[in-house]
Amino acid sequence: MLRLILSRIGLGLLTLLIVSLVIFVLTQILPGDVASAVLGQNATPENLAVFRHELGLDQPAVLRYLGWLKGVLHGDFGVALTNRRDIVGELWPRFKNTLFLASYAALLALPIAVGFGILAAVREGRLTDRIANIAALVAISAPEFFVGYLLILNLAVNHDWFPSLATVSSDTPFGERVWTVTLPAVTMTFLVTAHMLRMTRNSVLSTMSTPYVEMAFLKGLTRGRVVTRHALPNAAAPIISVIALNLAYLVVGVVVVENVFTYPGIGQYMIDAVNKRDVPVIEACGMVFAAVFITLNTLADVLAILLNPRLRHPR
């Protein structure tokens, strides 16, 4: 089991290294000249040459990548091209805002998704199960920006219950922050809950035809007890995997939601960098998103291994 866990961690690190190479290559082959985009059309050839030298654009791509990767490994993403500020200092408070939003959405989504998924499995084929499936299908089909604008229109414009813009700062009190971030959190909850609900239901139902579950039914146990005591623990591994994927989406997929609500998170920071062609900021945001996604997926793999009794106990 230890060998499997170490192999999963090693594969996660290798994947992150490959992703770093892909991010660097894609940002370097963007059309246009970065120096010209930053300095503007009135820049002289001498200024462009000096600025390209400062950015290291006159060096081979391999050396630029190795230098950038060395800085990333030391926690140094460089400075932004637009304001010459340290990227880590600008990125960290925005990343904390994104984590707060994702955690808020996860606290809303997890009990709803797992609870209704188990309930739908217990009452398979009944009205509760049908309503859950229809609601999940509708939620999955609705894009996040559409859900966000509907919430703004009905809960912020028409009724003035919540603010339409989720503008917060480091000095915002916790209660006010929760109230301000409610609409984007509900928007993200609306999307990830449906996927987790359906996966929880399907995972539980897939174990219902196994011999030990049939034996539990033959002993006279109720369907609810069989599901919660026998089927659910053995269906935990795929449920944990889908929960980890959706938690990763809560962090990585906030770009659109943060843009809709003007939330000062890492997604909004990345959009601003794309508009200004600030390549170091784009690379830093991409690496943070990739690291979060790969870490959560690796953690899900490790938990799935630990929950497997065939791997926990030697034969």
73 within 8 A of 157, measured Cβ to Cβ: no
- Full residue range of the structural domain in which residue 247 is found: 87-312
284 within 8 A of 230, measured Cβ to Cβ: no
Which tokens belong to 214?
Answer: 């049939």
**Do 238 and 108 sit in the same domain of this protein?**
yes
- Please check whether residue 230 lies inside any domain of the structure: yes
DSSP 8-state class, residue 79: B
> Can you give the pTM of this predicted structure?
0.77
Mean pLDDT of the 36-49 span: 64
DSSP 8-state class, residue 236: H
Helix (H) or strand (E) segment spanning residue 48: helix 45-55
**Do 123 and 27 sit in the same domain of this protein?**
no
Task: For residue 79, report the phi and psi dihedrals to the nearest 5 degrees.
Answer: -120, 155
Q: How many CB atoms sit inside 10 A of residue 133's CB?
A: 15
- Please check whether residue 79 lies inside any domain of the structure: no
CA pair distance 60, 23, nearest whole angstrom: 17
Quick: pLDDT tens for 49-88. 766 666 666 677 787 788 878 888 888 887 787 777 888 8
**Do 115 and 231 sit in the same domain of this protein?**
yes
- Please check whether residue 169 lies inside any domain of the structure: yes
Quick: pLDDT tens for 290-306. 888 888 888 877 777 77
87 within 8 A of 280, measured Cβ to Cβ: yes
